[in-house]
Amino acid sequence: MIIAGVDEVGVGCLAGPVVASCVILPESINVLFKDSKNTSEILRSKQFKFLRRNSFASIGLCTPQEIDEMNILNATHLAMKRAINNIQVKPEKILIDGKYVPSGLLNAKAFIGGDKVHQQISAASIYAKHFRDNLMAQYAKIFPLYYFEKNKGYPTQMHKEAIFEYGLSKIHRKSFKMK
């Protein structure tokens, strides 16, 4: 059976897209994946390269503008569907990290904390996080005042201070309120 794992990153960010990944691992694999939040940047980079060479993996994302238009939950689900639609092989079963299965996915099941239990979801977590972190590093070159290379768009104190001083950039989510 072809099983795909799906996870997202960037939901709690003030800037940048929400990014989802869909990963189908080879049947015989001897690499142990963990949730991307519990993995160092160096290990994530190595595992991302491993996944690019040894698995089927895809990305789906929603822009800050789409997030502002439809809300973060709907944008996250759309990013997940885009990742699933972008994968080269059609999965027979889809394991999703989260509480809900996006509408229209009949062969999918959601797992709260799924990235801690299912290797496919953990791999998708690694793939999505590495991709998004690299994207935010590129945005940092365009918008250096916001330190995206450090905060990746998350609401750190330094990021909030930059927003107060310089206003929102083109990649900030206008619908998100800072606490």
Helix intervals (H) in the chain:
41-54, 64-70, 72-86, 119-142, 148-151, 157-166
Tell whether residue 68 is among the known ligand binding residues.
no
* DSSP letter assigned to residue 176: P
User: Is 97 labelled a binding residue?
Assistant: yes
Tell me the longest C-alpha to C-alpha distance in the chain. 53
Is 7 labelled a binding residue? Answer: yes
Q: Do residues 114 and 97 make contact, with C-beta atoms less than 8 angstroms apart?
A: yes
Question: Which amino acids are annotated as binding site, given as ranges?
Answer: 7-8, 97
Question: Which amino acids are annotated as binding site for a divalent metal cation, given as ranges?
Answer: 7-8, 97
